[in-house]
Structure 1
Amino acid sequence: MKTRTILILLWSISLFHSFGQSKEAKYISKKFALEHQYEGDFTTVKNTIAGYEPYRPYLKYVLVGFDAYKLAYWTDIGGEEKWLSGSILVPKEYNETNKNVLMFCHGTIFNQDVPSNWNSPIHIEALPAMGNRITFLPDYLGYGTSSEDVPAYMQKKITVQQLQEFVEYGFMALEKLEVPFSKQMDVVGFSQGGHAALALAESQSESKNSIYDLKNVVSIGGPIDINENLDYILKKQTFASAAYLTYIFGSYGHYYWENNVSGIFNEPYDQLTKDFANGNSTLKMLKDSTTVDIRALMNPKFLEDFLGNKNHWMRKDFASNSITPFETDIPVLLIHGIKDEDVPFATTKKFFNELKKQNEVEKVTFYPLDNLNHIESGFLGIQLALDFLTD
């Protein structure tokens, strides 16, 4: 505990000066810590977004300047105490109690450019999403203050716990800052974040959360069925994001299979994945060292067994963390690029049709994006999400 406390006190202020100077104000309690990160005036925020060409269409959504705060908090995951983190954006002179708080869940990344580390591209994505709203930007387990932990990659129970607790401590932080806020929430997620957003909606359909009232959920290119996603990738000859494979098998190896990931990959990738499952290699090492050649990457016997057996023993754990159609009174928007090479469009379309059967038609909306791949659909998808939440 003493070491952790020292780490809190030694949080450094990033040098991403384009967002203005930090006030360096800190609040620390036994449960959570809050640190002012940045103060950005309206003109600086607009100029920053204008400096990144893919984000320029977001300029119309930028309405005000903001203050950013780093939030970290204690939690228990699987019987172990963890120190998790994220960022909170608060619009300047905010005085709203009837405007939904927004949570933005980021996609898969292989470094520590996460919300709690301010010099992150995720903030450029989230700034327009703020749209004069309080915005919560959670890190996931294995990132930010928990970077020494193995990430729980696309694992519903842990993901939902993290998001719910971030909201709980986020509300505590806002009270400490004396910022008025609504307890109604909108959630937008891209890629892995889309899976997270839907997992939260699915959990809400089973048991309402008493801390917040979830009002809208948007998933942009989010994996729905993890088994179908793996099949989609493993049948390719090459896959540009092949580190996704060493990542997900390594993560599930750690949390589900007692680090038993031998025989999935050819060497040296087999040892790389074992090291990751044991916490001895990093996400960056996976990204830098994993070949894009699927046949060179995968053990041929495993590949044949996994693709040829829909009852392969690993599939039950992937199935338990996939999103299943659920009844909901929350409006759900699914956005997906038709030419997505990372996450199969057909799976999202099938999920949409199944979701419609269980719910009022107006509660579920699907925007297929013509001629757009995974990343391209993310850029346009955020704009569509903001328009959807504004209507």
Structure 2
Amino acid sequence: MKAERVSRMTGSEVNAFLGKAGFPAIENAKGVDVYRVSYRTVDVNGGPTTATGSLVLPQTSAHELRVVSYSHGTMADRREAPSVASTGEGRYLPVYFATHGFAAAAADYLGLGEGPGAHPYMHTATEAGASIDLLKAARRLAGQQQVTFDKRIMVTGFSQGGHAAMALGAALQKDRDLDVSAIAPISGPFDIEHAEFPAAVDGRLDGRSAAFYLAYWLTSMDRVYDVYDEPSEAFRPPYDAKVTDLLDGSHDLGTIAAALPSTVDELLTPAYLGKLGKPTGRLLKAIRRNDTTCRDLRPGAPVRLFAATGDRDVVLANSESCLKDLRARHVDASLMDVGDVNHLTSLRLSLPKVLAWFQQGAGTTAG
């Protein structure tokens, strides 16, 4: 493990920093210290690799801290990851929780930040693995400063991070050293097979968003599961010749969006569109291996799902499906629809509710 402090802010500086992102002023905001942590974890094949992430500690005299793990949303550019970017969702959100007195950890995931290789987008096992291994590295770093962490972690995340948060919650239940207190995913794509892919194909998702998500998911899953023999099997020209390089972790969203079409029909071949509607073989394996996050959790940690009717990036049906799976397993779970708002607004509206629940001791008291 290697850690370096990359930022130090007073409470007033935190308010100014978060204010730039539209956060309201926080009364009695605590100062924070932000660390970039490099640590060992495992890759998609279970072999050794390294990853990076962010740990944000409140400036407090307390020697024991409750911990929030925040899992960030979809990002294709490794430079936007929490441990590297000085702004953006992956940095703002851990600071937000830390200034309220929590230790906040935010994994970059594999292949983002300073981790090697390409990012295995939406790969359940490594989302959970990178997150839990960061928490363990963060505990060692805190111990060097005579601070101990509560072993029962509060878990949240947005978009892809909602998926990662559920995966982490299930992994924490199986861990020998840590446990999960409560899980609060926001607008996560939990059911690719029955909710997200159908919405992408039938036009319920924004066209450009759907094209981007599908291109990212397919190129990432192809590296792991070989979901097409050649890019031309899945992608129409000219996208078949450039999509893999475009999504190699070195291009920002604006560059990628400008290079991709505005609809799924323009991106994918008719034959592959048909496969998405009725997946089989390696494609179905990739979907079902990673569509399990809401079925892997056991009773013991309450879950509050947040989503939005108006979301055209991740449809509400994902969270409805997750809620059904959780209740079938007798997990204490609920879903709050924050309204006819877009994807990013669902985060803005849900976040104060997540914070309030965590502050009330989510998972340690009834409800």
* TM-score for both structures, normalised by structure 1: 0.83
Cα 1:276–1:289 change in 2 (3 A) is closer
Greater relative contact order, per chain length (Cα 8 Å cut-off, separation 6+): 2
In structure 2, the partner of 1:389 is 358
Q: Distance in 2 between matches of 1:282 and 1:118?
A: 14
Cα 1:156–1:332 change in 2 (3 A) is same
In structure 1, the partner of 2:76 is 110
| CA deviation string 1:261-309 (max 9, x = no partner) | 43111112112234468x59756554441112222111112112332x2
* Pairing 1:186-225 to 2, within 5 Å after superposition: 186-205=154-173, 208-225=174-191
| CA deviation string 1:76-133 (max 9, x = no partner) | 4226542210111111134142x42111111001322111114121222332222111
Letter of the 1:138 counterpart: A
For residue 176 of structure 1, report the CA deviation from its aligned partner.
Answer: 2.1
Letter of the 2:136 counterpart: E
From 300, 306, 312, the equivalent of 1:329 is 300
Q: Percent identity?
A: 22
In structure 1, the partner of 2:58 is 91
* TM-score for both structures, normalised by structure 2: 0.88
Could you list the runs of 5+ residues in structure 2 that have no partner in the other structure? 361-367
Letter of the 2:316 counterpart: F
Q: Distance in 1 between matches of 2:320 and 2:109?
A: 27
SS state of the match for residue 80, structure 2?
Answer: coil
2:69 and 2:153 in contact (8 A); partners too: yes
SS state of the match for residue 91, structure 2?
Answer: helix
For residue 62 of structure 1, report the CA deviation from its aligned partner.
Answer: 6.3
In structure 1, the partner of 2:152 is 184
Letter of the 1:68 counterpart: V
| Backbone CA RMSD of aligned residues | 2.3
Q: Distance in 1 between matches of 2:67 and 2:334?
A: 21
For residue 41 of structure 1, report the CA deviation from its aligned partner.
Answer: 0.5
Letter of the 1:272 counterpart: K
| CA deviation string 1:341-371 (max 9, x = no partner) | 11121231132133223215xx212111111
Q: Distance in 2 between matches of 1:243 and 1:62?
A: 41
In structure 2, the partner of 1:39 is 8
SS state of the match for residue 149, structure 2?
Answer: coil
Q: Distance in 2 between matches of 1:104 and 1:66?
A: 16
From 343, 350, 359, the equivalent of 1:374 is 343
Q: Distance in 1 between matches of 2:155 and 2:310?
A: 25
From 311, 325, 328, the equivalent of 1:354 is 325
In structure 2, the partner of 1:23 is none
Q: Distance in 1 between matches of 2:354 and 2:35?
A: 24
Cα 1:235–1:257 change in 2 (3 A) is same
SS state of the match for residue 69, structure 2?
Answer: strand
Letter of the 1:289 counterpart: A
1:259 and 1:274 in contact (8 A); partners too: no
For residue 313 of structure 1, report the CA deviation from its aligned partner.
Answer: 4.1
Residue 127 in structure 1 maps to residue 98 in structure 2: no
1:272 and 1:286 in contact (8 A); partners too: no
Residue 162 in structure 1 maps to residue 133 in structure 2: no
In structure 1, the partner of 2:237 is 267
In structure 2, the partner of 1:26 is none
SS state of the match for residue 37, structure 1?
Answer: strand
Could you list the runs of 5+ residues in structure 1 that have no partner in the other structure? 1-31
Cα 1:288–1:84 change in 2 (3 A) is farther
For residue 144 of structure 1, report the CA deviation from its aligned partner.
Answer: 0.8
SS state of the match for residue 351, structure 1?
Answer: helix
2:225 and 2:282 in contact (8 A); partners too: no
Q: Distance in 1 between matches of 2:286 and 2:27?
A: 40
SS state of the match for residue 110, structure 2?
Answer: coil
From 126, 139, 143, the equivalent of 1:171 is 139
2:94 and 2:105 in contact (8 A); partners too: no
In structure 1, the partner of 2:273 is 303
Residue 67 in structure 1 maps to residue 24 in structure 2: no
In structure 1, the partner of 2:363 is none
In structure 2, the partner of 1:231 is 198
1:46 and 1:62 in contact (8 A); partners too: no
Aligned length: 349
Cα 1:333–1:39 change in 2 (3 A) is same
Q: Distance in 2 between matches of 1:249 and 1:150?
A: 13
For residue 324 of structure 1, report the CA deviation from its aligned partner.
Answer: 3.9
2:53 and 2:106 in contact (8 A); partners too: yes
In structure 2, the partner of 1:141 is 110
Q: Distance in 1 between matches of 2:222 and 2:270?
A: 19
In structure 2, the partner of 1:50 is 19
In structure 2, the partner of 1:240 is 208
